[in-house]
């Protein structure tokens, strides 16, 4: 029997909703991560719906979540392989084992789904739950085609992999062997240290581990070194342009590759490393540094890239070092190239800091002193603690002015910076795409593109749609449709920020102003379900399994029409466009059935619809007559008519006797059911055969009341029979598979029309880089989360703040703040920033004016760009860079490198801009390359004009 909590009889009776909430919250709050413990992944949408359910305090709430369902976390339901790039607290939540087992015992889990158990692992500088174990292929060198698939924790030792291969391929313990790891570029590297962890060895998912067994004559099969080496080409034969070298993607490391390419093409820094000047300045004692390891790892990458002997370099060691010292970059999730760049510049600075012992320096306020004096003092103090090639190349100085709003105290300081993070002008509008579903049953849904206020409400969306449809906003209902069901039905006053760009938003025309005060309308959420061919006797419920399909509907109808016959006709009419009507010859059943078989079918029908055993006989008496035949017992007539429930037919003599025999049970049941006042009684059997002399009419489908997920049959009406917008009535239209195949046209049901607004190209906003810099220097008021302590008022104040540029470095990095995060919304700005490739003049922005000829000029040329394609949670990073030796621009997309033209560089993907001061730019020492057949195949190719604007065939728009 299906329990009220949506589980089967394997689930235990859950405690009260408030107790459930407190128990789970306490377990989540008090559980610490301990190495070796198990944690479990749970679908975020299910968990959110559970929280909403327990917060209602109502066991019959429409937000009941049903069985635990992690289907959206899997790529498919055959292999149950986890989807890539799932994000915690967006796609899933992590629960400690005890909390998971409690939820499992209360709600049960969808059939056949495995529990997503993950272990806590102890990694350098952090303890974390390992969501994605490393998935590798294993094989023997003697048969590279015969591979097996295996998973390993990053905390496992390489020795564990060796033993696994021995067992899988029956390799004797006495056989001498060695291991190689091969990445997707077919380059391979020897795994020498078997006590090294999977993490330290940089072994990542998708790689292959090869076991090589020594020959009987003492030789190794890989006697030719070029078969197994760290780069894809033979260095003895390849000769290319220094710096024109790709970087292998180790798994979601395009963000790192993009930042490395930009830094690699920063001439003063690269020449510093190529000339080995760093060797004398490595700082092994700096407590803020990384023992010189980051500097050495970066030097190794740069030397390989500029040797001219590699198509592509594999930066495994560098990736490992970064993860050791910055735990946020551990593993193989996507990150931000600007965050990596910030860490790397700071790490290189501290590893190469010429100041071996930093002295304490007390900072002084300006106190009315001239800016020139205060600025020089601040810069000298900075150099007394920070002196490195990074400071020489990238550090500038800006003036910060704070003004107290109460006492008007002015505080002036001069602070160094390593890059400028400049804001982009943010539009106050956004574009949403919605599907409009008309009341006209023959009209296909229409897709519209609407412009709405970013800070608007759902009502504003409806108002925008009114302009195109002439339907009043109060006759519209807006819903987020997900997986054939309503994930959310919005109230008119809800913020538009709760709609994400990727959501499927449907707007339904209602028959009247349902949201108006005093409306006698009921809002129905209608799902389409298909029954399985066979009853699931094994579950103990003898019920048919069902699966959702198609698009759901939102409909408003009057309470007076909430009868089974009226609803059937209403739904049949609404589905006219894609449901074929019954032929007259099909209206009546063709065969008589034996009385006993008929009764047995009636019994199973009643059980299928959630009827208790003691109510079976009562429900068997319902014959579902036409309106002309309706006749109700006097004792029940008043209540049932007033509540709008389905009516019963006159009872036969045999049925009267059955009713008398179960009268005590009926009295208890009927009083409860009548108080429910639902549109359709939850335990009403589907429309079917009537036990009377007249042949019953055949039905296309049956109707059932369900919960908001469309999975559990239940009621949702208030005691007085009223319905509110926040407590919808969910109804399922159940199709027999044969009937659905015969009468339901799936192709027609999926059709929709594109409104002309969809064909209007989205106007790409273009702003000048100078506008962004002006915004950076605009006066702003501090946020409440970051107040300033006024020394005069002796309290924190929301002061006004203004930043001004005082002096600029040789290489200026400008970070375009495309990722906008507020308390109300998160978005990526695709604004095109018009930035010059040459002669970017900062003279109008510098507060310090040139006083003598020794001051450097303030005109800059572009040398590299880091690009980001995609949205907030995913995307792909690439880069453009100008080679310091030949002056040619190149496009770097991980291991692929192509010649680029200057007109390609400015796109809406530009994220980080590297500018070098013109007086420091060196003239090319070698001529630029001329693309020809003598160049490396599939490596350096000139792009055609069709490739311009970011759609190059070499620009992969897919996520890593």
Please tell me the distance from the alpha carbon of residue 720 to that of residue 723, in angstroms, as a whole number: 9
Residues contacting 512, CB < 8 A, separation 6+: 475, 519, 521, 556
Which three-class secondary structure state does DSSP give residue 370?
coil
Please tell me the distance from the alpha carbon of residue 893 to that of residue 628, in angstroms, as a whole number: 75
Sheet arrangement for strand 429-437: 485-489, 476-482, 505-509, 429-437, 446-453, 753-754
Q: What is the DSSP string of 427-464?
A: PSEEEEEEEEE-S-TTSPPEEEEEEEETT-BHHHHHHH
Helix crossing, 293-305 with 254-264: angle to 10°? Answer: 80
Closest to 703 in 3D by CA, of 556, 869, 524, 845 = 524
Please tell me the distance from the alpha carbon of residue 468 to that of residue 448, in angstroms, as a whole number: 9
Q: What is the DSSP string of 632-698?
A: --HHHHHHHHHHTPPPPPPPPHHHHHHHHHTHHHHHHHHHHHHHH--SS-TTPPPS---SSSSPPBP
Residues contacting 646, CB < 8 A, separation 6+: 563, 564, 622, 624, 680, 681, 684
Token pair for residue 304? 């390989």
Sheet arrangement for strand 117-123: 92-96, 38-43, 117-123, 126-129
Decide if 203 contacts 138 (C-beta within 8 A).
Answer: no
First to last CA, the chain: 47
Please say whether the dihedral angle defined by the alpha carbons of residues 377, 380, 384 and 386, taken in this order, is positive or negative: positive
Token pair for residue 430? 């956004």
Please tell me the distance from the alpha carbon of residue 848 to that of residue 370, in angstroms, as a whole number: 12
Q: What is the DSSP string of 746-769?
A: HHHHT--EE-GGGGSPP---EEEH
Query: 580-614 burial by CB neighbour count: b if 16+ within 10 A, else e?
Result: eebeeeeeeeeeeeeeeeeeeebbbbbbbbbbeee
Residues contacting 409, CB < 8 A, separation 6+: 403, 790, 791, 792, 793
Residue 298, Ramachandran bin (φ over 0: left; ψ between -120 and 50: alpha; else beta):
alpha
Which three-class secondary structure state does DSSP give residue 285?
coil
Please say whether the dihedral angle defined by the alpha carbons of residues 56, 61, 67 and 70, taken in this order, is positive or negative: negative
Residues contacting 591, CB < 8 A, separation 6+: none
Please tell me the distance from the alpha carbon of residue 163 to that of residue 796, in angstroms, as a whole number: 62
Q: What is the DSSP string of 246-267?
A: EE---SS-HHHHHHHHHHHT-H
Give the residue numbers marked as catalytic: 254, 876
Using the structure block, give the residue that is written with the tokens 């409909």. Answer: 555
Q: What is the DSSP string of 182-224?
A: E-TTS-EEEE--TTSBTTTTT--TT-EEEEEE--TTS--TT-S
- Residue 586 C-beta-side C-alpha neighbours within 13 Å: 9
């Amino acid at each position: 029997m299906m329990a009220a909590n949506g589980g089967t009889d394997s689930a235990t009776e859950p405690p009260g909703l408030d107790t459930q909430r407190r128990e789970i919250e306490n377990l989540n709050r008090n559980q610490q991560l301990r190495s070796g413990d198990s944690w479990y992944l749970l679908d975020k949408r299910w968990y959110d719906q559970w929280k909403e359910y327990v917060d209602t305090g109502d066991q019959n709430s429409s937000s009941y979540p049903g069985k635990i369902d992690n289907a959206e976390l899997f790529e498919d339901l055959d292999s149950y392989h986890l989807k890539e790039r799932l994000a915690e607290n967006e796609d899933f939540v992590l629960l400690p084992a005890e909390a998971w087992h409690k939820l499992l015992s209360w709600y049960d889990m969808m059939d056949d789904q495995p529990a997503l158990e993950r272990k806590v692992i102890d990694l350098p500088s952090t303890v974390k739950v390992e969501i994605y174990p490393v998935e590798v292929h294993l094989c023997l060198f003697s048969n590279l085609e015969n591979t097996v698939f295996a998973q390993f924790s990053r905390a496992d030792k390489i020795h564990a992999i060796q033993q696994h291969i021995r067992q899988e391929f029956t390799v004797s313990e006495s056989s001498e062997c060695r291991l190689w790891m091969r990445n997707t570029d077919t380059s391979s590297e020897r795994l020498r240290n078997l006590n090294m962890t999977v993490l330290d060895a940089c072994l990542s998912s998708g790689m292959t581990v090869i076991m090589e067994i020594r020959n009987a004559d003492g030789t190794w099969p890989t006697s030719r070194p070029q078969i197994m080496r760290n780069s894809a080409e033979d260095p003895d034969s390849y000769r290319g342009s220094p710096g024109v070298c790709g970087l292998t993607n180790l798994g979601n490391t395009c963000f790192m590759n993009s930042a490395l390419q930009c830094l690699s093409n920063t001439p003063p820094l690269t020449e510093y490393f190529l000339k080995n000047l760093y060797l004398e300045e490595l700082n092994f004692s700096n407590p803020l540094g990384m023992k010189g390891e980051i500097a050495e790892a970066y030097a190794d990458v740069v030397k390989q890239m500029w040797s001219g002997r590699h198509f592509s370099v594999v930066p495994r060691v560098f990736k490992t070092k970064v993860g050791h010292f910055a735990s946020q970059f551990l593993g193989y999730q996507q990150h931000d190239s600007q965050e990596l760049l910030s860490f790397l510049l700071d790490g290189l600075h501290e590893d190469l800091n010429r100041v071996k012992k930093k002295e304490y320096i007390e900072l002084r306020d300006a106190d009315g002193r001239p800016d020139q004096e205060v600025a020089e003092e601040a810069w000298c103090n900075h150099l007394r603690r920070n002196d490195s090639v990074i400071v020489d190349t990238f550090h500038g100085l800006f003036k910060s002015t704070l003004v107290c709003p109460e006492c008007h105290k002015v505080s002036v300081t001069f602070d160094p910076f390593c890059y400028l993070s400049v804001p982009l002008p943010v539009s106050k509008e956004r574009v949403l795409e919605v599907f409009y579903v008309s009341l006209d049953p023959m009209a296909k849904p229409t897709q519209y593109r609407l412009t709405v206020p970013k800070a608007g409400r759902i009502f504003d969306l409806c108002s925008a749609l009114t302009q195109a449809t002439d339907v009043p906003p109060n006759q519209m209902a807006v819903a987020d449709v997900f997986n054939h069901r309503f994930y959310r039905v919005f109230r008119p006053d809800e913020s538009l920020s709760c709609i994400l760009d990727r959501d499927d938003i449907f707007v339904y025309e209602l028959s009247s102003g349902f949201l108006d005060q005093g409306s006698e309308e009921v809002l129905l959420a209608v799902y389409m379900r298909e029954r399985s061919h066979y009853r699931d006797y094994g579950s103990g419920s003898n019920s048919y399994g069902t699966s959702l399909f198609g698009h759901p509907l939102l409909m408003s109808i009057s309470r007076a029409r909430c009868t089974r016959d009226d609803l059937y006709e209403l739904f049949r009419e609404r589905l006219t466009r894609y449901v074929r009507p019954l032929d007259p010859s099909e209206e009546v059943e063709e065969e008589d059935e034996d009385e006993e078989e008929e009764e047995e079918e009636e019994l199973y029908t009643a059980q299928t619809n959630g009827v208790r055993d003691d109510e079976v006989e009562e429900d068997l008496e319902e014959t579902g007559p036409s309106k002309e035949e309706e006749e109700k017992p006097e004792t029940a007539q008043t209540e049932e008519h007033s509540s709008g429930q389905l009516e019963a037919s006159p009872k036969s003599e045999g049925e009267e006797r059955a009713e008398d025999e179960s009268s005590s049970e009926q009295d208890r049941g009927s009083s409860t059911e009548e108080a429910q006042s639902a549109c359709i009684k939850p335990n009403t059997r589907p429309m079917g055969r009537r036990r009377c002399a007249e042949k019953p009419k055949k039905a296309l489908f049956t109707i059932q009341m369900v919960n908001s997920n469309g999975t559990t049959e239940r009621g949702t009406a208030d005691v007085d029979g009223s319905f509110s917008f926040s407590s919808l009535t969910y109804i399922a239209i159940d199709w027999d598979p044969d009937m659905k195949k015969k009468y339901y046209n799936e192709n027609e049901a999926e059709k929709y029309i594109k409104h002309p607004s969809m064909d209007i190209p989205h106007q790409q906003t273009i702003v000048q880089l100078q506008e962004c810099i002006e915004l950076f220097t605009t006066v702003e008021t501090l946020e409440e989360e970051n107040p300033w302590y006024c020394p005069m008022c002796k309290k924190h104040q929301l002061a006004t703040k203004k930043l001004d540029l005082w002096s600029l470095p040789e290489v200026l990095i400008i970070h375009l703040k495309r990722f906008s995060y507020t308390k109300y919304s998160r978005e990526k700005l695709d604004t095109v920033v018009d930035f010059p490739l040459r002669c970017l003049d900062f003279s109008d922005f510098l507060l310090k004016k040139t006083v003598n000829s020794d001051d450097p000029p303030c005109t800059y040329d572009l040398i590299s760009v880091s690009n980001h394609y995609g949205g907030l949670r995913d995307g792909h990073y690439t880069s453009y860079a100008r080679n310091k030796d030949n002056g040619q621009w190149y496009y770097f997309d991980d291991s692929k490198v192509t010649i680029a033209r200057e007109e390609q560089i400015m796109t809406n993907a530009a994220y980080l801009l590297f500018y070098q001061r013109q007086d420091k730019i060196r003239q090319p020492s070698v001529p630029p390359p001329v693309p020809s057949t003598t160049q490396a195949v599939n490596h350096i190719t000139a792009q055609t004009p069709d490739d311009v604007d970011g759609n190059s065939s070499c620009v992969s728009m897919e996520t890593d």
